[in-house]
Structure 1
Amino acid sequence: MLRFLKHVQVAVWMTLEHDQFSVAKAAAYSAIITLFPAVLLISSILTASHSTLNFIREISFAIGGIMPAGTAPAILTFFQGHKPAPGRMIVTTSVITLWTGSGVMISWMEGFRRAYQMPKIWNLTKERLISFQLVFLAGIPMAFASFLLAFGNQIEHWVAFHTNHELDVYFLALWTVIRWLIALGTSVAVIVLIYHHGLPRTQPWHRVLPGSVLATVLWFASTTVFGWYLRHYADYRVIYGSVGTAIALLIWLYIVSLVILIGAEFNALRYPRYLFGSFSELKVVATAEERRPEGK
């Protein structure tokens, strides 16, 4: 336990040493730009599919569960007031979301490279293509978890109705635990995928799992603490007016990016670069990539 805490302490220090705070700022900026077209895309799809208000409430509750306090009502209001969008707008919004989301991944990939002190190997085209891949890899499990969380109450009521009422209390407690495990497991899985594919040298799963678990724990803990701080001490809507929610989200996204980079530093500390490729080998690959034409 003491060794683990020592590694966490060193990982935080290396985050300062490698200037990961500037990387987190860039990732948070890209993330806040990604968030609004993503919400627009989701609301357009839900409106086009004639989803019920109860379903939209469940989606808003699921999103609000991982965001700071005060953001869920704003998202719900946005969903309720949104009108059906044409198919062309949905396609355009999807492209914008994909492009800006890839910017988040590129910032994180730069942070991973700094954590392992690796040379810059990928050219701009390959880096952008890999970032697109990471957006899809991260989006699929998150969409699956959101689906389960959104339909959680319906599943809960259906099972309770078809079982003995004496089991209702036990089932509700068990289902609550399952939903939390789904949220935690999905977060770990997404971060593992990003760590695994975010470096030029793909790492074994067991080498990126410790940092993923640490980043998930720090993510949930920091979100809880930040939400408590907003509720009791800082109301950004009073200071910044109508953009207060956006300011709070920007700070929260900065914190999330920072804990993901801390997790990468933790993995780099436990499994240094020389365990998955010598510096000379990486240098040869980097030289070959630099000599390759940009479009190839």
Structure 2
Amino acid sequence: MEFSRSPGPPVLPNLHRLVWRTIKKAWDDGIVGWAAQAAFWQALSLPPLVLGILGSVGYIAGWFGPDTVDVIYERIIAFANRTFSDNVVGDIIKPTVDNVLGRGRVVVISAGFVISLWAGSSAVSCFVASIVRAHDQHQVRNPVWQRFFALFLYVAFLVIAVFLLPLVALGPNYLHEIVPESWDPIVTHLIDYGYFPFVAALMLIVLTTLYHLALPNPLPWHRLVGGAVVAGVFFWIASYILRIYLTAITRAGYTYGALATPIAFLLFAFFLGFAIVVGAEFNAAVQSLWPAKPAASTQVREWVSSQTSDITGQLKTLPDRLASGPIRRGRYPDDPETGRERPARTRSTRSRPPDDGQAG
């Protein structure tokens, strides 16, 4: 099965059309509602997420060293300090992480852990629904299956994160041990200036993979990188402005009392969901202006479907071709039409019981 791709309009003269189409489509799809829903589920999913990741890391921490969990804790807090405001880190993220680490390893087979998986996957389900809506594929996948699909994505993310987090957290320490001592100053500067860009690039890869896997009919992976970059840049700018705003109103004395920290966290979560939806809408706008060939998996699925339809159509017409008409007897000479003599009918040779009158 052949797939053709039209070249589409030139890129630079149509950038304004791309921006306008992204904004219009995002507004028509209700981006504010999706972002608010994502913020709510992120707030509800944060404790299960931390419980699932750090609790599961305890099972493999011994593979990487005795202080693996402590190093991961430091890296998480350092990354949170660069992303969120001080009150969000100090009042929400840090106590949550401390509470999970204070309990030690979680029992993976416990009912509480299973419930945390379902609650933690709610945010992923919201992201999947918004991405599918952006590409107008929301009627392709069954809603019930889509919810379980989000759960499977969340579990896969947990499994990958459990093995990836120790490597990312302990990578700088391993580099210091591997390289010669003469290279230590160079490696130190490389870690200081390149560690967080590396983590950001890793997050972009994860987001691009989410854009790819969320779609029932996915686009090629490389065509979704642009949306991930747009989402990352948007969230970085939004979080930077939000931190300045929160710092300013705190210094001015305008606070929300005990609700200040939860509101700040919800604002960060709102802009994170907003950024992910904007990235998905950007990818959909690019696809509408410059259509790409379907992904290899989609091409294979459509080819198999077309072949199956052809075979099914042939099987449906097979009974019509094999159907026989009514059974007809041949014509004989004594027939009025042919004059051939019919063969004499043979009488049945089966014994018949004697009549009652001849029995005596």
Length-normalised TM-score, structure 2:
0.64
CA distance in 2, matches of 1:251, 1:210: 24
Greater mean alpha carbon deviation, residues 255-264 or residues 146-155: 146-155
SS of the aligned residue for 1:65 comes to: helix
Rate the CA distance shift 1:138–1:221 in 2: closer, same or farther, 3 A. farther
Q: Supply the AA of the counterpart residue of 1:163.
A: E
Report what 2:125 is aligned to: 106
| 2:212 corresponds to 1:196 | yes
CA distance in 2, matches of 1:158, 1:263: 39
TM-superposed CA distance for 1:19, in Å, is 1.0
Deviation string 1:190-242 (CA, Å, 9 cap, x unpaired) is 1111111112212211221111111122122222222222223348994131x
Report what 2:43 is aligned to: 32
Structure 1: unaligned runs, 5 residues or longer: 286-296
CA distance in 2, matches of 1:79, 1:103: 20
Larger Rg: 2
| 2:201 corresponds to 1:185 | yes
Which of 145, 148, 160 matches 1:129?
A: 148
CA distance in 2, matches of 1:239, 1:125: 39
Greater mean alpha carbon deviation, residues 91-100 or residues 73-82: 73-82
Greater mean alpha carbon deviation, residues 24-33 or residues 135-144: 135-144
Report what 1:272 is aligned to: 288
Report what 1:293 is aligned to: none
Deviation string 1:2-21 (CA, Å, 9 cap, x unpaired) is 75465234313321122121
Name the structure where helix makes up a greater proportion of residues. Answer: 1
| 2:75 corresponds to 1:64 | no
CA distance in 1, matches of 2:74, 2:196: 19
SS of the aligned residue for 1:136 comes to: helix
The number of residue pairs the alignment matches comes to 275
Structure 2: unaligned runs, 5 residues or longer: 1-11, 295-301, 306-360
Runs (4+) of structure 1 exceeding 6 A deviation are 46-51
TM-superposed CA distance for 1:66, in Å, is 3.3
Write out aligned runs for 1:148-167 (5 A).
148-151=167-170, 154-155=173-174, 158=177, 162-164=180-182, 167=183
Length-normalised TM-score, structure 1:
0.76
Rate the CA distance shift 1:33–1:8 in 2: closer, same or farther, 3 A. same
